[in-house]
Every structure is written in structure tokens, then in C-alpha cells.
Amino acid sequence: MTPVKLYPAKPEKVYLFGTCLIDLFYPEAGMDVVLLLEREGIEVIFPDDQTCCGQPAYTSGYHDEARRVAAAQLDLFAEPWPIIVPSGSCGGMMRTHYPQLFMNSERQEQAEAVASRIFELTEFLVHVCHVRLADRGEPQRIAMHTSCSARREMGLAETGPKLLQQLSNVTLVEQVRSAECCGFGGTFAVRHPEISAAMVADKGVAIEAAEAEHFVTSDCGCLMNIDGHLQHEKRALRGEHIASYLWRRTA
Amino acid sequence: MSQPATAKSSEETLQGGAATPEVQIFDPRHFHQQAHDALGNPQIRGNFRKAMDGLMQKRRDAFVEWDLETLRQLGANVRSRALAKLPDLLEQLERNCQANGIQVHWAEDGDEACRLIRELCESRGAKRLIKGKSMVSEEMHLNAHLEEAGIEALEADLGEYLVQMAKETPSHIIMPAIHKNTSEISELMHDKTGIERTLDADTLTAAAREQLRQRFMTADVGLSGVNFAVAETGTLCLVENEGNGRLTTTVPPVHIAVTGIEKVVEHLQDVAPLYALLTRSATGQAVTTYFNMISGPRKAEEHDGPREVHLVLVDNGRSRIYQDDELLDTLRCIRCGACMNHCPVYTRVGGHAYGTTYPGPIGKILMPHLLGLDATRDLPSASSLCGACGEVCPVKIPIPDLLVRLRKEAVGEGRGNVPGAGVKRSVKEVTAWKSWQWLATHPVFWRLGTGMAGRFRALSPGHLPPWTDYRVAPRPASKTLHAMMRERRRTEKNS
Amino acid sequence: MSSRDAILKRLRQRLDGEIPVPPSDFTVMTERGWSQEERLVRFEAGITAVRGEVVKTTRADWTRALVQVLVEKGVGTLALGRFHDVTIEAREALAAHDITLVDADRDIESWSREQFENIDAGLTSTQGGIAETGSLWLWPTPDEPRRLSLVPPIHIAVLDAGHIQDTFFDVLRDRRWTEQMPTNALLISGPSKTADIEQTLVYGVHGPRQLVVLLRQN
């Protein structure tokens, strides 16, 4: 766990690392992140050449390949601005594993510098922006799924719930075994599909049993997994990225 | 998918030993099939879910009054110090044990340890050996080795006793019979020992107590594991609730203690934090019924205790793990089982599916060293890297990082110092990752490719097994975030 | 080369060289700062939570409590030492009662089966107790050997309240265990138990079924 104990003051500019899953499958969530940050008076710089943080290759053991991709990302964040990542998984990769990947190499200092400026979205909104949210939506019961990376790699179990608790018409319910993995794990879901399926099935049942009408998550991997499973099972429950939910409720 | 494993000869399996035809032999090479079978078995799913939920809660409750993070750090430091000084401490342990009258033997691998123990038994005409719980003896397949030499090796820990009766292996390192229901146990004991069937656990336990009491009285040798071996004083520490450990190490005239070389600690006081962490992490107990500290055989003026005490130090791959700074952390383990108690994978497939002596997260980072990455090829990847294990490990072993390291070794991009390194490297997968790498380092083509995927999203496959066996296929958005941001910049510029 | 030498050589000729030694701060294992009263409360709570029985008594009165316990539990045969103060007082008090006393300070070979089959209870002194975990600690002696607190189905232990310390670490340090470890040192924290049968807690497995602590205050 790498909790950032000392948070900086709200900056004027930030970088956005959109993540490849948002880029490809949930770009509107990425746009919602931009809108949320701009509403706080922050200019969002989106380096066009960003692609992927490298995590899928990293966790598969292909570190040479992951390193080359990570190196390409490192060069995109030259200014000393915070780098906002709307994913605990990618955020964890860049904050925790980039320094490891480049240890004892010529990019060690650069990697450590970039890593020190990584903030997961909810973390940034709560601890740096001290955001105040005004709920304009209808009463709703929702559940939060915090990704394992956000929870354990980045130490951010409370930031998502803190944001949701600011929404006056939202009842935040907690599903049983809320800290248990949803079963995505990147390539785990395709290498060990049956075990992964058993995990996501339990997760879906738990959120339903908590009588949530909707769920949100800070990680699009988890979203694809849980939402995709619920759709497959023809359940009514759906989820979305927390950025989209927050923007929709407060805009 | 491979065929379910049924009884095989000892040359074919890694479990070793003969088995009766109706008992399933588990093999790490058949992990996928074994996991599949377990996932479809309601009793396994139910037993393990209930048991693990209980153990997780008990552990939480047990640490309520503690500054847990400080305690864990102390535990990690105590173990790291011991590993840092390991060769010196082993020599000190040997010296002090010998000064106390304990005979010390060294074995490079499990087979040598088995031979040593067999010879100790044979030279004393021992035919009956009774055992306290020892995972390292399971690792060595000691029972099978002794049985082949005509020496009875009887498990006295209740869970191990039952598992042995069923001709199975333990499914958890602390609670060996956790996969069994009371009715199964009743049936088993009725079948093998003739008692009346009952669902009353007290009655079943009383029967086992009676059966085993006779065996304690007549055993020639008692064999135990060691939880902590203290170099400073030449003391072997054993943790238990049942009393069979004390009986095993006190009643028979000969006591043989067997341990992995990594279990040594430097000072007697080092035991205090490790003991506090072990019992609470394992079962949520502040302390076990007995903490048994042995520093020698019966002295001339004493009236009971074994006449001889032997300590067998087993390497079996540990000194190889020791060589590498990152892999070294694996050896901090104090065998509490908290990692498997918290593992969402272990909870769903149970311990047998892994087919290895140590299951769960610790099994996944340890067994590749003992059996090679080839035999354990599906284990390091059988994790979503959720980190629940690392979060609860009392000695802060970074289990997810070690799993990633082993995956790196398995595909041949590591240091090559784990047996079987490179075994999972395939042209297919290398090509896939190299293509991904190329795309992700050529942003123009990345944008082109992802843009095309969006434009042709109607053609994106809806059938993408195994993902789509359980979920709808993700559909690329019509416009990527890159495209949206570009448009926005253009609009801003023009406005 | 012997296995011993091969193993030590591999450990010493380590590929990645020397391993740094981290410091160890044991503060978290000690400095509880409990009062005597709190120690007693914690000790009793800990041991009774796992079916240990605590009988509060005094130095003057404890043998009366002992007799009461023996009578209540129907103990006909009691094994005990001969030379410890506790056993001397016990023998004196029990002389008038119809309970067979069996000497424990004999080579076990002469009475092993008897100890397993005919002894109802074993009486031992203790060296002290641990409040944090509800534990007794004993160093068996030739007079009160190891099996005395293990084999008979009831173990009766005499503990002086003033000998209860906060933590195990405190006991190790303050009582200087490292200076001379006995052949066997024991922490005993209740009657024997198991949860191996479908997690059901059962008391009385291989060790004693009952543990009675005669807690002498003042």
C-alpha cells in the first residue's frame, strides 16, 4: 500500500491519463472526469500520445514488453503537474510498479518522479480538491465497488464512499464481503475463467442482495466484469464509472 | 481439459505413495480440472465459504486491541533478521541443541530426511511411530516412505488422523479436515474404527481420544514439527490445542523433530511477537492451549520425557530460494494459513484442487520452488492479484509481487533462477504481447487502431470465449477518448 | 561434502550477497501498564473463555478449596509431587480424606499405564501466569514431571495471583528464561480442545478435559 499522506494544494493544471479501457470502451467516463476536474477550476491536459500503462503485460510476466510501453508513457508527463488516473488498477501500476520496473536503470529518477505525481481520481477529488458536491438527482440506493488495486495497492477504501456520501439523495448500501475481489484480475478472467466467473457471480448476487438499484466503481475492469456478467444473466442491475455517476448527479 | 486424476502409481504423480482405487489423487498439473470439479461441488463451496468467513472474522476480532501494523512490522523484522543471519543461526542452534543433549541431523532434500528418519527408527527397532502435526513431513511424503519400510506412521492430530484414515491429504495447513462434514467423519470413523454413527462432535472426539491414547502408550517414536527453533537457547517451540503434540514429544522414548531450515529465530524473545501473530492470524486465538518449549531429552534426575531427542533440519529447496533478494521473502512464512483464509480463489476451490502440500497463496509462491514451474505451471496465474493475502500476512510477505515474479520467471523474462523458468513461454503469447507493445509505443497507430475498432463496432465479435461464456462482450465505443479530446481541442481553438 | 556443509555453503555463498538486518522494536509486546486488579480480571476472562475453571482462594485457605474441587469432581485418585510447598500442604490437608494419593516423582516407566488409566487428576504448582492470554506457565521438575499436567483427565494447577504478569514477553524478560532453559517449559491456557470436526469446538481431546486453577490471592 502506498498511501499518499501529504497531499498538495489544489493545482491549476493536471495531466489526465485516461487508461486504455476508458479510451476504448468507456470514453464518456473519461470525458466526465475532465468535466469534474474543470468544474474545480483545473485545466486538464490530455497528452495525445498516451496509450496503455502496461499493466496487462506486467501481470502476465512480460516485463520487457511492459517496460517499453511504460517508458513511452513516462515521457508524456514532463511538467510537474499531478497525473490523474481514473482507475485504481492503472494508478496502482504507475505509482507502485513503475519505480520497480525502472529500478537501477537510466529512467529510475524519471519513473519515481512520475510515480510520485500519480493520483487516482476519487483520491484527488477528496484529498486535493476537497470537492463539494450538490446532489441534483432523484433518491437512489447505490452500492460502491472499490477495486482491489484502489483498496490495497493505493490504500483508498474510503475515497469513493466519501464522495457518494456527499450526495444527499443517495443511500449508499454496502454489499456483503464488499472487500472481496470481483474476479476480474485482468488476464485472470481469461486464464482461469471458471474461478473468475464464480467470483463475479457472487459479487453480482451480493450487490443485488444489498438492494442496490445501481452500482458504481472506480475501475473499468471491474465495471466490464460485473456489469457484463449482470447483463449476461439478464439481471436488471447495472453499473457505471463513479465519474459518470457523480457528473450526472451534480451537473 | 485434462482427465480427472484417479489413482496412479507413485512414479506418475507428485503425491507419491500408493492409494486405494476409489480415492482421488490430486496433482498440480491437473489444477484446471480439479478446480472445475471443486467449483461444481456444493459441499466444498459451502464448507470452505462458511469456514473461511468464520476464520476471517475471528482474526479481525483477535487483533482489535493491537496496533496491528506495528506488530506485523515487528514480525517481519524478526523473521528478516533470522534469514539475514541464517547460516550462523543454524550453527548456533546446532551447538546449543547439542549442548542440551539434542542430536542434530541435516538433510538436503526430503528424500534424505525420510531416509534419516527411517534409519533412526530402524536402528532402534522402532515399528510404531506417532505423529504430531508437521507440514514439512507431508512435504517429504514421510508417511509413505516409512510405511514402505514397514514402520507405521500414525497421525495423532485429530484432523490429520481423520484425513489419514480417509487416505487423503490435508486441504488446509491448519485445519486438515476442513473439507469434511460431520456426517462424513462419522461415516469414516464408523467404517474404519467400528464406532456407532453419530453427529455429535463430542462423541466422535471422545472416540478418537480413546483410540489414540492406546497408541501413545505403545509408540516407539514420536515425530513432531517445529514452529520456532530458537538458536539462542537450543529450544524447539511447538504450538497446539489438542495435547497430541505434547504427548508425542513426551511419551515415546524417542522424539524426532523435523523442520525446514528457515524456521529458526535468533533470540528467545523473538518468539513472543511471532507466537502472538501466529495464533491470532491462524484461528483468531490469543493463544493456543499449549505452547511447548523443548530444550532437551530427559535428564538423569528427571522422571519422564523422551530419552532421546533428534532435530532434523531440512533444506529441500529453501537454500535455493534464499539466493534471491526478492524470492527470499517467501521464507519468512510462519505457516499461519491466514493467506488462504482470505483468498477468494482458495475459498472457492478448496485446498485439494491445488494438488500441492501447501495450497492457497503460500502454496502458489512456494511450491514452484519445490516442484518446479513446469509441474506447477497453472498456479502462479491462479490469482486475480487482489492482495487480500498480502494484507493479512503476519510477516508482510508481498505475495502478489512474488506471484508476478514467478509469472515473469515462467515466461522466461526473469533471472532464470527458479526451476522450470521459461516453461510457459509460447510463440503465440510472445507475439501477442509484442504486437501490443508495438501498438502501445506507436501512438499514431494506436489511435488509428482504436479508432477503427470504434468505427466498425457493429462487427466486433459478440462471441469471445471464455469471457463471453459468463459476460457480454465489451463493445468498443464509437469514438475513443482520444478522438473526443481531439475534437474538443479543435472546437476550443476555433471558438 | 556432508549435507550440513553443502547447505551452509549455499547459504553463505549467497548470489545476492549480504542481507541487511532490520531493527526490532519490541515495545508493542510489553508496556501494557495494567494494575494488579486488571491483570487478574484479564487472566480470569481469558482462561474461563476457553473453559478453564478459576477458583479464587487464599494462601491460608487454598487446601480447603482443593478438597472441595476434588470432591465435586469425584476425584478418587490424585497424582502429585512430594517436595514442593504446594504438594506438602496438599498432602497434609488430604491425609484425612478418602482420596488415594499417588507419587508423581517416580520414573514413568514404572507407572505409565497407571497414569493413563487410573489417575483421575494431577496436581501441580505453577511458576506464574500471563494476563494478556489467560495462561499459566510451568517448568516441570523431577518432583512434578511433564506428564503430570498432561495425561490425567483433570489438571489442577495452583497459581499465586502475585505471579501473574502482563505479557509473555514480560515473563521471558523479567524471569530471565534465557539464563537457564529447562528441558521443558510450558504455557497452558485451558483444557485441551479442537475444532477439526466441521469447526465445532470440542473440549477434551488428547490433553486434560478439565483445567482447574486454584488462584491464591494474598
- Report phi then psi at C202, rounded to 5: -125, 135
pLDDT of amino acid B4: 43
- How close B230 gets to chain C, by Cα (Å)? 10
B115/C contact by beta carbon, under 8 A: no
Find out whether A5 and B457 touch, Cβ atoms under 8 Å: no
In chain B, where does the domain assigned CATH 3.40.50.10420 lie?
Answer: 85-316
pLDDT of amino acid C218: 81
B interface test, pick of A14, A46, A51, A146 with most B CB neighbours within 10 Å: A51
Q: Say which amino acid occupies C117.
A: E
Rounded to whole angstroms, the Cα distance separating B252 from B306 reads: 6
- How close A64 gets to chain B, by Cα (Å)? 7
B266/C contact by beta carbon, under 8 A: no
Judge whether residue B20 has pLDDT over 80: no
Find out whether C121 and C79 touch, Cβ atoms under 8 Å: yes
Q: pLDDT category, B17, cuts 50, 70, 90?
A: very low
CA distances, C44 to each of B58, B61, B287, C47 (Å) = 20, 19, 14, 5
Question: Which residue in chain A is spatially nearest to B342 when comparing CA positions?
Answer: A180
Rounded to whole angstroms, the Cα distance separating A216 from B481 reads: 20
Mean pLDDT of B402-428: 97
Class assignment of domain A140-250?
alpha beta
The fraction of chain B above a pLDDT of 90, given in percent, is 91
Q: B66-118 pLDDT, tens per residue?
A: 999 999 999 999 999 999 999 999 999 999 999 999 999 999 999 999 999 99
User: Which CATH number belongs to the domain containing residue C144 in this structure?
Assistant: 3.40.50.10420
pLDDT of amino acid B494: 84
- Report phi then psi at B78, rounded to 5: -60, -45
- How close A226 gets to chain B, by Cα (Å)? 8
Q: State the pTM of this model.
A: 0.96
- Across the interface, whether the CB atoms of B348 and A195 are under 8 A apart is answered yes
- Residue C25 is assigned to a structural domain of this protein: no
Strands B152-155 and B102-107 turn out to be unpaired
Rounded to whole angstroms, the Cα distance separating A62 from B404 reads: 10
Name residue C155's beta-bridge partners: C122, C211
Rounded to whole angstroms, the Cα distance separating B310 from B229 reads: 13
Q: pLDDT category, A4, cuts 50, 70, 90?
A: low
Q: In sequence order, what are the residues at sequence separation of 6 or more whose Cβ sits closer than 8 angstroms to the Cβ of residue C218?
A: C58, C59, C161
Assigned C-alpha cell, B271 = 518468539
Judge whether residue B442 has pLDDT over 60: yes
- Report phi then psi at B209, rounded to 5: -60, -45
The fraction of chain A above a pLDDT of 90, given in percent, is 97
Q: B216-266 pLDDT, tens per residue?
A: 999 999 999 999 999 999 999 999 999 999 999 999 999 999 999 999 999
Assigned C-alpha cell, A214 = 445501481
Strand (E) or helix (H) holding A159: helix A159-165
Angle subtended at Cα A17 by Cα B387 and Cα A23, rounded to the nearest 5 degrees: 95
Mean pLDDT over the full length of chain A: 97
Judge whether residue A191 has pLDDT over 50: yes
Name residue B103's beta-bridge partners: B310
pLDDT of amino acid B7: 40
Name residue C101's beta-bridge partners: C78
Q: Which B residues 304-363 touch A at CB under 8 Å? A: 344-345, 348-349
Class assignment of domain A13-127?
alpha beta
Q: Is C23 helix (H, G, I), strand (E, B) or coil?
A: coil
pLDDT of amino acid B1: 39
Angle between helices B31-39 and A193-209 (to 10 degrees): 30
Q: pLDDT category, B274, cuts 50, 70, 90?
A: very high
Q: A143-166 pLDDT, tens per residue?
A: 999 999 999 999 999 999 999 999
Find out whether B179 and B351 touch, Cβ atoms under 8 Å: yes
- Across the interface, whether the CB atoms of A199 and B344 are under 8 A apart is answered yes
Look up the CATH architecture of domain B85-316.
Answer: 3-Layer(aba) Sandwich (3.40)
Angle subtended at Cα C178 by Cα C174 and Cα C182, rounded to the nearest 5 degrees: 105
CA of residue B315 relative to chain centroid, distance = 16
Q: Is A118 helix (H, G, I), strand (E, B) or coil?
A: strand
Find out whether A237 and A214 touch, Cβ atoms under 8 Å: yes
Place of cell 459468463: B470
Q: B44-64 pLDDT, tens per residue?
A: 999 999 999 999 999 999 999
- Across the interface, whether the CB atoms of A58 and B482 are under 8 A apart is answered no
- The range of the structural domain enclosing residue C76 comes to 37-217
Strand (E) or helix (H) holding B102: strand B102-107
Which residues of chain C carry a pLDDT beneath 70? none
Rounded to whole angstroms, the Cα distance separating A220 from A80 reads: 27
Q: Which residues of B192-221 are buried (b: 16+ CB within 10 A; e: fewer)?
A: eeebeebeebebbbbbbbebbbebbbebbb
Strand (E) or helix (H) holding B401: helix B399-410
Mean pLDDT of A123-138: 97
Sheet holding A83-85, edge to edge: A43-45, A13-16, A83-85, A118-120
Comparing CA positions, the residue from A10, A176, A171, A22 lying closest to residue A88 is A22
Judge whether residue B315 has pLDDT over 80: yes
Find out whether C157 and C213 touch, Cβ atoms under 8 Å: yes
Q: pLDDT category, B464, cuts 50, 70, 90?
A: confident
Domain residue limits, chain A: 13-127, 140-250
Rounded to whole angstroms, the Cα distance separating B95 from B384 reads: 45
Q: C32-91 pLDDT, tens per residue?
A: 999 999 999 999 999 999 999 999 999 999 999 999 999 999 999 999 999 999 999 999
Angle subtended at Cα A206 by Cα A204 and Cα A211, rounded to the nearest 5 degrees: 100
Rounded to whole angstroms, the Cα distance separating C74 from C79 reads: 14
C interface test, pick of B215, B289, B298 with most C CB neighbours within 10 Å: B289
Judge whether residue A194 has pLDDT over 80: yes
Q: How many domains does chain C have?
A: 1
Question: Which residue in chain B is spatially nearest to A231 when comparing CA positions?
Answer: B472
Between B275, B286, B290, which is nearest C46 by CB?
A: B286
Q: Say which amino acid occupies C88.
A: I
Q: What is the 3-state secondary structure (H, E, C) of B166-192?
A: CCCCCCCCCCCCCCCCHHHHHHHHHHH
- C-alpha R_g of chain A: 18
- Report phi then psi at A250, rounded to 5: -120, -5
Q: Say which amino acid occupies B128.
A: R
Rounded to whole angstroms, the Cα distance separating B61 from B477 reads: 47
Do you find a cis peptide bond into B466, omega within 30 degrees of 0?
yes
Q: Is A133 left (phi over 0), alpha (psi -120 to 50) or beta?
A: beta
Q: In sequence order, what are the residues at sequence separation of 6 or more whose Cβ sits closer than 8 angstroms to the Cβ of residue A175?
A: A143, A145, A203, A206, A207, A209, A210, A212
CA of residue C87 relative to chain centroid, distance = 16
Rounded to whole angstroms, the Cα distance separating B120 from B126 reads: 8
